[in-house]
Structure 1
């Protein structure tokens, strides 16, 4: 069996979705155990291709990254136009799994995707307008064309059925997991005090204001460490001596936290 796996989400700085994509691909390669051919594939800019190669270092799979300037615009136009079929550029395959950033057409084989949440549909005011447009188009296409849709929780799967009309038999729940480095033993970050940790982009859809309010109610000296890069619109107020803004933390440093 030949599986083409879209890794275009790794062409930007890795956050939650990128980590999920990398972990899913690594798990797929392990499960295939050499019995199936897996192609990690994405049209990307030169800078994006470099980030993808760095992210996939250590995963033993074929990697093909056609270099395109303005890659996001090309991916969007290809998805909307609906031609040519993916087989023209990636060769014959049995399964194509695509992510959030493109939904190119295919002539044959199983078609699959992942839906992390339906925030752009439920709460469009919490997402950037471009994100809302991109995800709405992807959701419509996935609901119409996919043989299998993966969701990262039972709640999201029910949401997909309710809002997109996808019958439950076409849905599979694939919960996020942990990489081997996220264990109790090993290097520990020293923040000078006990703390709780949240990792999230600093933007409204992460609902960090509610977390900050809950933390203030504790009043027991437990610090709240907030790891996350700048997002869209207003950022939460990371104020107070027990709130520790850490900024964006690279993935390799997260296990120590």
Structure 2
């Protein structure tokens, strides 16, 4: 089986979606190679993006086909909308086309698949840019009409896709994200000079950081800082200027793992997610976790996190206090839960899905 896999988004910075694309591709490439199949990773991308993608997939057992083009975004959009020429013209015969987040290229034959990470642009357009909404809503509609199967990062997202897009639920396959190799309990723990709570989130309304800061205000009797890792996002920026709140911006995986290991607790107050990868990363690194009680986070949390109402600072403050008193029990439960996720497993699920519908 020859599998064409779109890696266009890997030309940009590593956010949750990109981490999923990269991790699932790695797992798929390993599973395919073991089974005698071939993965062709491809992308029309900017000249700068070519170098970034090459670095992202270095060492993966696959055939990489990149075309560097000025104005690559507009070319991808035009190619998707025009519906021609088929991808086979550039890649040769294929048995599967798996497109990801930024385009839905045409194909002449074979299985057609995609991944849906969440339906935020469709359900909550106020939480994304107009460009993001336009691009993703077109993709959702096209995928629902043309795909043989879809992959979702959680059963919550899979159910949402089936209900909202009208796509057969038995053709939406759940492939939970794995956990990066950096995130493990063994290793150096960060020492920031004072105990700290840690949250990992893009600075945007959906991540609900204002509620977290309000909860932090209610913990003033504790000797704690609040450390926020993540870059500036879109929309109204949360009010984060408060004594003890420290913004670190984006950090690499090695530094993030150090921060997880050193945290008194990791707190994830998001209002809505496809899965919630920082939760399982934190657990794998040995951190106790307090997370939003929104059901989109149920699979990431399992029974290993304390939960709190995302609209209540009081609920989060109480859950944080409880977590600090149950650190060892939460660490033990979190490590066991995190051990059930791997990119190798995600990749095998992808390959099995293609074979099932071939």
Shorter-chain TM-score bucket reads over 0.9
Partner of 1:149: 150
* Contact 2:46 2:71 survives alignment (8 Å): yes
Deviations 1:13-61 (CA, angstroms, capped at 9, x unpaired): 1111111111001111221234111111111111011111111123232
| 1:239 and 2:253 are equivalent in the alignment | no
- Superposed CA RMSD in Å reads 1.5
Q: Partners in 1 of 2:253 and 2:160 — Cα distance?
A: 29
Partner of 2:10: 10
The alignment's TM-score, normalised by the length of structure 1, stands at 0.95
The alignment's TM-score, normalised by the length of structure 2, stands at 0.69
Q: Partners in 2 of 1:56 and 1:217 — Cα distance?
A: 44
| 1:48 and 2:29 are equivalent in the alignment | no
Which region of structure 1 is more displaced relative to structure 2, 117-126 or 55-64? 55-64
Q: Partners in 2 of 1:60 and 1:33 — Cα distance?
A: 7
Tell me by how many angstroms 1:153 deviates: 1.1
Q: Partners in 1 of 2:101 and 2:182 — Cα distance?
A: 26
SS in 2 for 1:66: strand
Structure 1 segment 216-231 matched on structure 2, within 5 A: 216-219=217-220, 220-231=222-233
Partner of 1:25: 25
Tell me by how many angstroms 1:208 deviates: 2.2
Q: Partners in 2 of 1:64 and 1:217 — Cα distance?
A: 53
* Contact 2:30 2:61 survives alignment (8 Å): no
Q: How many pairs does the alignment contain? A: 257
* Contact 2:33 2:61 survives alignment (8 Å): no
* Contact 2:116 2:153 survives alignment (8 Å): yes
* Contact 2:7 2:43 survives alignment (8 Å): yes
* Contact 1:227 1:248 survives alignment (8 Å): yes
* Contact 1:41 1:63 survives alignment (8 Å): yes
Q: Partners in 1 of 2:115 and 2:209 — Cα distance?
A: 25
Deviations 1:49-99 (CA, angstroms, capped at 9, x unpaired): 111111112323211101111101100110011111111112111111111
Which region of structure 1 is more displaced relative to structure 2, 88-97 or 238-247? 238-247
Which region of structure 1 is more displaced relative to structure 2, 185-194 or 99-108? 185-194
Q: Partners in 2 of 1:179 and 1:7 — Cα distance?
A: 18
Q: Partners in 2 of 1:114 and 1:237 — Cα distance?
A: 34
Give 1 or 2: higher helix fraction: 2
Deviations 1:110-169 (CA, angstroms, capped at 9, x unpaired): 111111111111110110000000000000011111111111111111111111001111
Unpaired runs of 5+ in structure 2?
260-358
Q: Structure 1 residues 177 and 216 mapped into 2: Cα distance closer, same or farther (>3 Å)?
A: farther
| 1:95 and 2:105 are equivalent in the alignment | no
Which region of structure 1 is more displaced relative to structure 2, 239-248 or 114-123? 239-248
Tell me by how many angstroms 1:252 deviates: 4.2
Unpaired runs of 5+ in structure 1?
none
* Contact 2:182 2:253 survives alignment (8 Å): no
